[in-house]
C-alpha cells in the first residue's frame, strides 16, 4: 500500500517502472485479480503479521 494522507489510500498492485500493465490489458485479468490476491495476503498478514505477498518497497 502506498502511504496515505489519512483521507485516502491506494493499493500498490504493481511496480509501474517494470511495465507490468498496459492499457490494452483487461482490468478483470489484472487489477481485479491483483486486488483479490492482495486482499488475501493482507488478511493473512492481519492474523500473524507475516507478509507472504512478496513485492518490493517503492524506494527499492
pTM assigned to the model:
0.71
502511504: which residue's cell?
A: 3
483487461: which residue's cell?
A: 26
pLDDT tens digits for 9-25?
A: 677 788 888 888 899 99
Would you state the pLDDT for residue 60? 46
pLDDT score of 48 more than 90: yes
Higher pLDDT, 3 or 50: 50
pLDDT tens digits for 21-39?
A: 899 999 999 999 999 998 8
**Residue 24 burial (C-beta neighbours within 10 Å; 0-12, 13-18, 19+):** exposed
Would you state the pLDDT for residue 40? 92
Amino acid at each position: 500500500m502506498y502511504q496515505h494522507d489519512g483521507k485516502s489510500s491506494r493499493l500498490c498492485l504493481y511496480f509501474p517502472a517494470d511495465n507490468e500493465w498496459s492499457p490494452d490489458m483487461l482490468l478483470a485479468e489484472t487489477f481485479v485479480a491483483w486486488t483479490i490476491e492482495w486482499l488475501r495476503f493482507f488478511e493473512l498478514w492481519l492474523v500473524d503479521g507475516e507478509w507472504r505477498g512478496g513485492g518490493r518497497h517503492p524506494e527499492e
